[in-house]
Amino acid sequence: MTTNSTGVLADTAAYAAAVEEAKRAAAAYYTAGESPLDDDAYDRLVRGIAAYEEEHPQEVLDASPTGKVAGGAASGDVPHTAPMLSLDNVFSAEQFVTWTASVERRIGRPVAAWSVEPKLDGLAVAARYRQGRLERLITRGDGAAGEDVSHAIGTVLGLPDRLGEPVTLEVRGEILMTDEQFEQANAVRTEHGAAPFANPRNGAAGTLRAKDRPYRVEMTFFAYGALALEDSGDLAATLAELPHGEVLTYVAGLGVHTAADTDVAPRTVTTAEEVLAGVEDIAARRATLPFGIDGIVIKADLAADQRDAGTGTRAPRWAIAYKLPAVEKVTRLLAVEWNVGRTGIIAPRAVLEPVEIDGSTVGYATLHNPADITRRDLRLGDHVMVYKAGDIIPRIEAPVAHLRTGAERPIEFPEACPQCGSEIDMSEQRWRCTRGRDCRLVASVSYAAGRDQLDIEGLGATRVVQLVDAGLVQDFADLFTLEREQLLSLDRMGETSTDNLLAAIEVARTRPLSRVFCALGVRGTGRSMSRRIARHFASMELIVAADAEALQRVDGIGKEKAAAVVSELTELAPLIGKLVAAGVNMTEPGATPPAEPGTETGDGATGGGAQDALPLTGMTVVVTGAMTGVLEPLSRNQMNELIERAGGKSSSSVSKRTSLLVAGEKAGSKRTKAEELGVRTATPEEFAELVEAHLVTASEA
């Protein structure tokens, strides 16, 4: 595509290409239920098109998807009684609040009540009932007319042939496949030699249109509205005046299915805060629902408020869709890694073909234990459904078995501890190295020597195993007292490797405190927390002397973590003593010790004074995409170190508290989010200029 990934369109040609791409995607989505773009990407594309059109109103193309139902892709030949509209979208609480203000300005009073309900991820249909009988089923089409899909009557749960009362009305709602119906449909299809559906939405779209299949698969209807038909009689007046919530209760009473019996039942509230609490509640339940939702729909509940707010050509002005990011994606399982934890537990981890989910790139997912892999019959090369939302660790939901080609291979389980080579205790579901915590010696020395800690080149895990096996290293402090002869006595250690390793250890002896502290592997203090602690206290002596209260003055350390750190540091005192004795650096360059409590001024998290002159003081900076120019060789950790050296705080996610986003090549959703929130962005080159004075130190660290 000629648009860049942020959705910003540079010129007429990029705009035209974007319109063309949106048109193709909408056509595929609304006719076959599939799309080359996922929902997030399509929304971004349309937002980019709308933004361009706002700036260049005279250039708007006829084919533009903006302002059209179904992006202008669908059509049909059965006219709708009243237009079947689409919904406008918001993507954040701020946008929602702005939208409510515009509705209230329009009607000249506060909206009396809001209905909050799930946005079901299926296909919109209108079901016409006459005298209580289901007469016709029509798709949304272009909003003015739809396709007759009455042949599907009888296959849709929740859409009864006969209502509880002989009333005449049109029920509108969404037809979808629940997860179970989707599984069932694919089982039946594979039995009949048909290709499986890629996802439930695709299944519902295909099934709704299919006329002459030799088998039947079931779908489910959820009503989200009802309106009178020309011969509805008295019911017309009643329906026109009922609040939305009561319309849903009424149709449910007639026997039509609504979301009322789900964990995300529609609710009526009065304030914007309550709406947002409802949004959060529904979003949090999304993962465990037995059907797909892609957002939350918020509607003015009272008929009078709806009437006064009015309706646009594409969407009503009294309702809005609060879109949720796509959280489930299909990707490939490339490999399984076996990692040994602190206590010797051997845990499998899935290596995935990287996939963007909910704002971050996912390359790994947890697999619980070997039994779990066997139970789910996972194979290497499988397409797998990966789920990730918010801060949760990505997990593999299921293999997409119907996408198998036959080239998939079984996952091999380790026969010996992958860390130290000892036997594995397989008596429990979770496998454990028979050396238990002792096994961690190799792991913890390797960690300490790692790139983001002491960065000792030439000291990989194999070498560490050798050192441990030879009894030369009982902890990583022993590395600093290794002698040349001792190293030479090891297998495959010649003069050159020995001298190189010794030189690398010498460099490690002078690393900044933040890295030495990180090397200790104190639970809950990774790279960024270690840097904050080191900058705050400036010396190991002060860290060790700190009590829980003093530790809590470090940004991000709460009561619980402070207590845990204090107790671990007590355990680690002998190791720290050995490091000091070995002449390892115990101070943080550029940091000044904190003032005594009470005399402290300014931000306690950054230690003492002398910070004000730094270019990023008081700023929270996020880095995304590939760095270029002088920043190209820096790892993410080194970028974060650079930010902190320049007085800023590094963070991994964009929020309204972010002061600056450094957006490199292929920056994706973080840039979009920054743009939405009005967060300043800089190219790697611009950023390098800003922190120029601190660059050298960071790349040498």
Question: What are the residue numbers of the active site?
Answer: 119
CA distance from start to end of the chain: 40
Paired sense of beta strands 379-380 and 156-157, if any: unpaired
Of 366, 362, 364, nearest to 334 by C-alpha is 364
- CB-CB contact of 46 with 65 (8 Å): yes
Measured from the CB atom, the residue of 170 and 174 that comes closer to ligand IVH is 174
How far apart are CB 327 and ligand IVH at their closest, in Å? Answer: 17
How far apart are CB 117 and ligand IVH at their closest, in Å? Answer: 5
Strand order through the sheet with 319-323? 89-90, 319-323, 293-300, 114-120, 267-269
397 phi, psi to nearest 5 deg? -80, -55
Contacts of 527 (CB under 8 A, 6+ apart): 452, 518, 637, 640
How far apart are CB 36 and ligand IVH at their closest, in Å? Answer: 19
The secondary structure of 42-55, three-state, reads: HHHHHHHHHHHHHH
Measured from the CB atom, the residue of 223 and 365 that comes closer to ligand IVH is 223
Binding site residues, ligand IVH, CB under 6 A: 85-87, 117, 119-120, 124, 174, 224-225, 297, 316, 319, 321
How far apart are CB 153 and ligand IVH at their closest, in Å? Answer: 19
How far apart are CB 66 and ligand IVH at their closest, in Å? Answer: 14
Which helix H or strand E contains 346, and what residues bound it? strand 345-357
CA distances from 563 to 32, 366, 518, 547, 550 (A): 57, 29, 18, 8, 11
- CB-CB contact of 304 with 406 (8 Å): no
Measured from the CB atom, the residue of 236 and 682 that comes closer to ligand IVH is 236
CA distances from 579 to 2, 437, 461, 463, 476 (A): 55, 22, 21, 20, 9
How far apart are CB 34 and ligand IVH at their closest, in Å? Answer: 17
Q: How far apart are CA 92 and CA 43, in angstroms?
A: 14
How far apart are CB 316 and ligand IVH at their closest, in Å? Answer: 4
Q: Is the dihedral of CA 104, 108, 110, 111 positive or negative?
A: negative
81 phi, psi to nearest 5 deg? -65, -45
Which helix H or strand E contains 659, and what residues bound it? none
Of 3, 89, 93, 4, nearest to 681 by C-alpha is 4
Neighbour count for residue 89 (Cβ, 10 Å): 17
Strand order through the sheet with 680-682? 649-651, 620-624, 660-663, 680-682
Measured from the CB atom, the residue of 173 and 664 that comes closer to ligand IVH is 173
How far apart are CB 70 and ligand IVH at their closest, in Å? Answer: 8
How far apart are CB 120 and ligand IVH at their closest, in Å? Answer: 4
Residue type, 81: T
Cα 48 to the center of its chain, rounded Å: 21
Nearest to ligand IVH by Cβ — which residue? 124
Measured from the CB atom, the residue of 208 and 433 that comes closer to ligand IVH is 208
How far apart are CB 94 and ligand IVH at their closest, in Å? Answer: 21
Cα angle 168-170-174, degrees, rounded to a multiple of 5: 145
How far apart are CB 119 and ligand IVH at their closest, in Å? Answer: 4
Contacts of 588 (CB under 8 A, 6+ apart): 512, 513, 514, 534, 535, 537, 538, 539
The DSSP code sequence of 73-112 is ----SEE-SS------EE-SHHHHHHHHHHHHHHHTS--S
Measured from the CB atom, the residue of 321 and 643 that comes closer to ligand IVH is 321
Measured from the CB atom, the residue of 38 and 452 that comes closer to ligand IVH is 38
Measured from the CB atom, the residue of 217 and 319 that comes closer to ligand IVH is 319
Q: How far apart are CA 623 and CA 625, in angstroms?
A: 7
Measured from the CB atom, the residue of 320 and 540 that comes closer to ligand IVH is 320
How far apart are CB 307 and ligand IVH at their closest, in Å? Answer: 13
Measured from the CB atom, the residue of 141 and 668 that comes closer to ligand IVH is 141
Q: How far apart are CA 140 and CA 123, in angstroms?
A: 8
Measured from the CB atom, the residue of 119 and 561 that comes closer to ligand IVH is 119
Measured from the CB atom, the residue of 29 and 129 that comes closer to ligand IVH is 29
Contacts of 39 (CB under 8 A, 6+ apart): 294, 323, 326
526-531 LR contacts (CB < 8 Å, sep 24+): 527/452, 527/637, 527/640, 528/640, 528/650, 529/554, 529/556, 529/557, 531/640, 531/641, 531/644
Q: How far apart are CA 181 and CA 197, in angstroms?
A: 11
